[in-house]
Structure 1
């Protein structure tokens, strides 16, 4: 069934058990470090025709899933998330484009460490379905690449053979399974 025949309408909220927010960054030029957050809250509100959509999300910085020594340095450290001063990461959409082929483009604002920057995410959209328990569900999978320096996370250490210990480009991904409210 095409997206045009099954529009998203109403208010949907993230099913936390089936939603995730992750990041990945190059580490020591040889591998990619990945981490995710446990505490996310997201919602999408669409008009009755499914034409105008608005989304928002909040991630608690301290809910990062990573080794304890990494959490202390990265989450609480001023060089990175500075969770003590900035406990939340937020996203607010300004424009959402759904295509009939299931692709989606979201333009919005990402706030990390109290700094807000424009960001564009692309990905896929699964139109609403009825689950076996009587709920209506839809899903978005979104990806974006950002430069961490845009949010004041500019820590770096040069490698003896050349290059940087930590990449500046950070891949963000959100997998949101949403449940219709009301």
Structure 2
């Protein structure tokens, strides 16, 4: 055999091995699923989300942002009723007494930042562990890199959410540092 023939055979063998290793890696990644339905089922089984198209992913991100905005609005309206003023239902808010302090105003920075970080409207102080956990969870969920290929509008929304999360985190870190 000539040297060219041996080199060609080795190149073909290396290509075949490379293809086989890639195929095995794909099988391992999707758990042996062979169809999109099986892949989605495998991803759903271990808590991951699997999107079959960019449009599915974009719609899921838009829906998550809508749900988050509705949740924040509910948290703001629930924690921000002023004493004697009309609440979100048009009725006066709760009357303060010795056992019930006056609720902070709607635009109070702490209530707004608590809603942003999903820390609840509770009157107690925020612990450093709860703050760190909430920050990491939300930054992972709303980071602009997660929607890098989904269009300018979603990227801007993700940037706004991330800025709000960072601002709320900085606010509570400053308070904890005092």
TM-score (norm 2): 0.23
Structure with larger RCO (C-alpha < 8 A, sep 6+): 1
More strand by share: 1
Larger radius of gyration: 2
Q: TM-score, normalised by structure 1?
A: 0.23
Higher-helix-fraction structure: 2
